[in-house]
Amino acid sequence: MTEKFDLATVYVSDAQYNRNIFFGTSPQAVRLYLLYNHLFMQTLVYVFIIINLALALFEDPAVVPLPIWATSTIEIICLSAFTVRMVHYAKVIPRDKFWKDPKNICIIVIVTLSFIDLTIYGALKATGYFAIRWSRVLRPLLLVNVTEGRQLRRAFRSIRNALPQISYVFLLFMFSVLVFSLMALKLFGKRGLLTIDGSPYFTDYLDIVFDLYVLVTTANSPDVMMPAYNYSVFFTIFFILYIVINTYTFMSFFLAVVYNNYKKYLKEEVRQLVKARRFKMCRAFSLLRETCGEGGEPVVTQAKWNHLVKLVKPNISIAHQELLWSVLDDQNKGHIGKFAFVQLADLLSIQVITVKSQPHPIQICFPSMYNSSVSRFIRNVVHHRMFVYVYDLIILVNAVFIGLDEENPVVSNAEWDFVLYAGGYTSRQILDIVFILRVLRLIRLVDSIKRFRAIINTLIKIGPTILTFSQLIVVYYIFAMVGMELFKGKVQFFEPNSTSPDQEYCGNPLLKGTTFAKLNYCKNNFNNVVSSFIVLLELTVVNQWHDILYKYRSKLIKGLLLFYFPGSRTVDGLLQRMFETDLRTEDFNEEEEPENISFSNPAFDSV
């Protein structure tokens, strides 16, 4: 019976957390499976993944340089941990299922290639040859393909499903940009127009394509239009048509296509998820069922149900357990049938908050003082609505004084409750953090307004959905690794007090006189992983992203940049569209499609 309860516990837990792993049902396989899904083991996997990703901080080009032997040793430990995890997983599920799972093949390939790359890189560095760590690009894929990465796989699955339809819109969009670029070349190329820095305006076709692509993101508007606008107001018609067609129409098409495809596949995945969940609950029911009377229907008694729930959720309170049972056994029969038992996974997923009424500490320590007439008067005043309004007004007035000039003695004295002085230093020099905390008092005003509080609660509830946007980190990491290998050392940052003549052009003569150097964007480089992430973030935000591109005179490098940076912008934009359509927080079915089991949706009317 113990073995049956252990197996039933696994089925119910998998249904609750939407796991769909085909594991063996032998006692040894069940024990290994329980160990595999243990919270400590899952946390350990994430720790090793984070350490593996963080190695980019210490590898060349490094933020904090470490010897090659140190980073290599840490990476070998991480890769060994992933290998042990895969061996453990292979012991849990049947061999044929293991080798048919693309996630397992992907992890094995990544770990193998990482070991090979690490060996080659170490050997080349030891002999003084130039080497590239090309396998670093594969590191974030481990985060996607581990068993616990269901949310990320769902996001990338949505992108994969939407790509065929998106590709048609994207090709038509690029065709429109190329046609408008050709028209711009014919309209403005022979008119001798000049840009603000004196360079020819719209005379090179590749430059025109790039400028009009940037215009779709509105980052160079209206700068790109001004030479033509200054020449003739009628030329604005060209740019207005371009913006309407490409910026508004095509971008709306992108969102519509992604949304429609995402919702289409979402319904199918939810259907498969519900089938898999009920399939596992039926398997658990078949292990614990017993016949109610002679020739009666199969049921699960309350004693077995209580024992099962305690195994699935050890910290559940008795009151919570009795509440769940009363929902399922609303007729007090002492047992439940198959239909009610299947709903257990849904009930366990519902958050139940226990509210306990506790007396005030002053009432416990000093009951006579707390119950006195003065104390009751103070409590009534504090609970009155007018007191809330006055308190909010005080916070608002205080915020006004915080925003005023503190050097003015009148303002400083008016804020006497909050300003402190120490030695010869001003309060702003010493208490910056305290001032920030004081500004946060305004949150009290937001919380006191019912509509605002409802919006904040909604934002908190959609937090798990926002976390799925961490897929951007995967994309950032891949592009950062590629960028570091391609562009490291190309741009140098000099401190403000530096006297080096190379400071004028960021250490690269090719950047002399460019907008990049004039705007002092030298710190926007790929010399380490932190600056690489910042550059990619700036590209995502859109503003001035075109000025971040290094204006090399080499056509080959310019072509490479035209692929790399707009490519990252396109991928980021696609992920943003996916986030806008990401309305659900459930995990979805991944591997198995069990036999059709038809049940109506769970109903909780008795609650």
DSSP line for 199-235: PBSS-SHHHHHHHHHHHHTTTTTTTTTHHHHHH-GGG
Mean pLDDT of 599-603: 36
Tokens 């993944």 — which residue?
Answer: 49
Domain ranges of the chain: 1-12+163-356, 22-146, 361-448, 465-580
**Phi, psi (rounded to 5 degrees) for 492:** -120, 145
Q: What is the pLDDT of residue 356?
A: 65
Q: Can you tell me the distance from the alpha carbon of 204 to that of 562, in angstroms, rounded to the nearest whole number?
A: 14
Q: Is the CB of residue 224 less than 8 Å from the CB of residue 202?
A: no
Angle in degrees, CA 53, 475, 119, rounded to 5: 40
Q: What is the separation of C-alpha 359 from the centre of its chain, rounded to a whole number of angstroms? A: 42
Q: Can you tell me the distance from the alpha carbon of 340 to that of 331, in angstroms, rounded to the nearest whole number?
A: 12
Q: What is the pLDDT of residue 273?
A: 82
User: What is the pLDDT confidence band of residue 440, given thresholds at 50, 70 and 90?
Assistant: low
Tens-place pLDDT, residues 192-241: 888 887 888 999 898 899 889 888 888 888 888 999 999 989 999 999 99
* Token pair belonging to 516: 């990049």
Q: Comparing 7 with 357, which gets the higher pLDDT?
A: 7
Architecture of domain 465-580: Orthogonal Bundle (1.10)
Transcribe 147-169 into DSSP letters: TT-HHHHHHHHHHHHHHHHHHHH
**Highest-pLDDT range among 18-32, 113-127, 437-451:** 113-127
Judged on CB neighbours under 10 Å (0-12, 13-18, 19+), 170 is: middle
Q: What is the pLDDT of residue 454?
A: 80
Q: Can you tell me the distance from the alpha carbon of 530 to that of 523, in angstroms, rounded to the nearest whole number?
A: 11
Among the listed ranges 18-22, 128-132, 478-482, which one has the minimum average pLDDT value?
18-22
Among the listed ranges 83-92, 123-132, 148-157, 317-326, which one has the minimum average pLDDT value?
148-157
Where do runs of H (alpha helix) occur along 440-554? 442-448, 450-461, 463-467, 471-487, 515-518, 529-541, 545-548
* Per-residue pLDDT at 604 exceeds 60: no
Q: Comparing 511 with 406, which gets the higher pLDDT?
A: 511
Q: Can you tell me the distance from the alpha carbon of 339 to that of 332, in angstroms, rounded to the nearest whole number?
A: 16
* Per-residue pLDDT at 470 exceeds 80: no
* Per-residue pLDDT at 53 exceeds 90: yes
* Per-residue pLDDT at 398 exceeds 80: no
User: What is the pLDDT confidence band of residue 592, given thresholds at 50, 70 and 90?
Assistant: very low
For 186, other C-beta atoms within 10 Å of its C-beta total 10
How many alpha carbons lie under 13 Å from residue 588 in its C-beta half-sphere?
Answer: 18
Return the CATH number of 22-146, one of 3.30.56, 1.20.120, 1.10.1660, 1.10.150.
Answer: 1.20.120
* Per-residue pLDDT at 477 exceeds 50: yes
pTM across the whole model: 0.72
Q: Which of 49, 263, 270, 75 is nearest to 148 (CA)?
A: 49
Q: What is the separation of C-alpha 549 from the centre of its chain, rounded to a whole number of angstroms? A: 26
* Per-residue pLDDT at 84 exceeds 80: yes
**Mean of pLDDT over the chain:** 78
* Per-residue pLDDT at 603 exceeds 60: no
Q: What is the pLDDT of residue 403?
A: 61
* Per-residue pLDDT at 55 exceeds 90: yes
Mean pLDDT of 521-550: 78
Per-residue 3-state assignment (H helix, E strand, C coil) for 257-326: HHHHHHHHHHHHHHHHHHHHHHHHHHHHHHHHCEECCCCCCEEEEHHHHHHHHHHHCCCCCHHHHHHHHH
Look at residue 21 and give its three-state secondary structure: coil
Max Cα–Cα distance, the chain, nearest Å: 99
User: What is the pLDDT confidence band of residue 242, given thresholds at 50, 70 and 90?
Assistant: very high
Q: What is the pLDDT of residue 429?
A: 47
Q: What is the pLDDT of residue 395?
A: 64
* Per-residue pLDDT at 402 exceeds 70: no
Q: Distance of CA 436 to CAs 273, 397, 441, 442, Å? A: 46, 16, 9, 11
Q: Which long-range contacts (CB under 8 A, 24 or more apart) does 41-45 make?
A: 41/85, 42/148, 44/81, 45/81, 45/82, 45/85, 45/146, 45/148
* Per-residue pLDDT at 607 exceeds 80: no
Judged on CB neighbours under 10 Å (0-12, 13-18, 19+), 587 is: middle
**Highest-pLDDT range among 35-49, 305-319, 557-571, 591-605:** 35-49
Among the listed ranges 111-125, 466-480, 509-523, which one has the minimum average pLDDT value?
466-480
Q: Is the CB of residue 565 less than 8 Å from the CB of residue 549?
A: yes
